[in-house]
Amino acid sequence: MTVPILIDLPSNIKDELWAHLMPKGFLSEGAAFVFVSNCQEADAYVFTFLDWFPVPSTGFSSRSSFHLELKDEIRGLVIKKAHDLGVSIIEFHSHSGRWPASFSGSDLSGLEEFVPHVWWRLKGRPYGAVVVARSGFDGLIWLHSPGKPLRLDAIRVEGKSLKATNLSFLSTERYEQRPI
């Protein structure tokens, strides 16, 4: 039996986060980081919102409609804040196309490089990544290992579960099914 993995967000934060990631007429990818506590509940593994950091337009070393790269100082700032708070990080970024939400090949390659670094810096705390598109979102969570992500099942907003597409997880064999 598997236990669903959820992110709990207040509705106003979900709205602010989506507005930051996908402003009206956006053409370039956007990014933000959500700081979360995490716990195993009876029926789910839940990441609960504590704070967030919207990456400003000046926080990118490169940015386009199909790629983004953060400046080193932004990555350092986010990791330091999570370390100081003793919490986990969920990164969010947006895709501007009309296709369903899923991580691109370059997203997955970047995560394979970045997640082990953050995992080490945060002493084994879980890490998550969510990609947001106009049609929905998809997510991966590194709960037990920096090399084997699990699928995010839903984002829960005021008790209502918004389901992830799970297209990234289904489209690749690099991820294992999960027992929790």
DSSP string over the chain: ----EEEEE-HHHHHHHHHHHS-TT--S--EEEEEEEEEE-SS-EEEEEEEEEEPPGGGEEEE-SS-EEE-HHHHHHHHHHHHHHT-EEEEEEE--SSSPP---HHHHHHHHHHHHHHHHHTTT--EEEEEEETTEEEEEEESS-TT--EE--EEEETTEEEEP--HHHHT-SSS-----
Which amino acid is present at 179? P
Pick the residue with more confidence: 140 or 42?
A: 140
Look at residue 170 in the predicted model and tell me its pLDDT: 56
- Whether the pLDDT of residue 167 is over 90: the answer is no
Mean pLDDT for 37-42 is 87
Does residue 96 register a pLDDT over 80?
Answer: yes
**Pairing verdict, β 5-9 and 68-70:** unpaired
Q: Where are the domains of the chain?
A: 5-170
Instruction: Tell me the two tokens of residue 6.
Output: 């959820």
User: pTM for the whole thing?
Assistant: 0.91
Residue 176's pLDDT is 47
How far from 168 is each of 58, 93, 125, 139, CA to CA, in Å? 29, 14, 22, 8
Residue 97 confidence (pLDDT) above 70: yes
The pLDDT tens digits for 5-17 are: 999 999 999 999 9
Report whether pLDDT(87) > 90. Answer: yes
Q: What percent of the chain has pLDDT over 70?
A: 93
Q: Average pLDDT in the 109-122 region?
A: 94
In this prediction, residue 26 carries a pLDDT of 82
Average pLDDT, the chain: 89
- Section 9-26 average pLDDT: 94
Name the CATH superfamily for 5-170.
Answer: Cytidine Deaminase, domain 2 (3.40.140.10)
Contact predicate 23/31, CB 8 Å: no
Dihedral sign (CA 79, 82, 88, 91):
negative
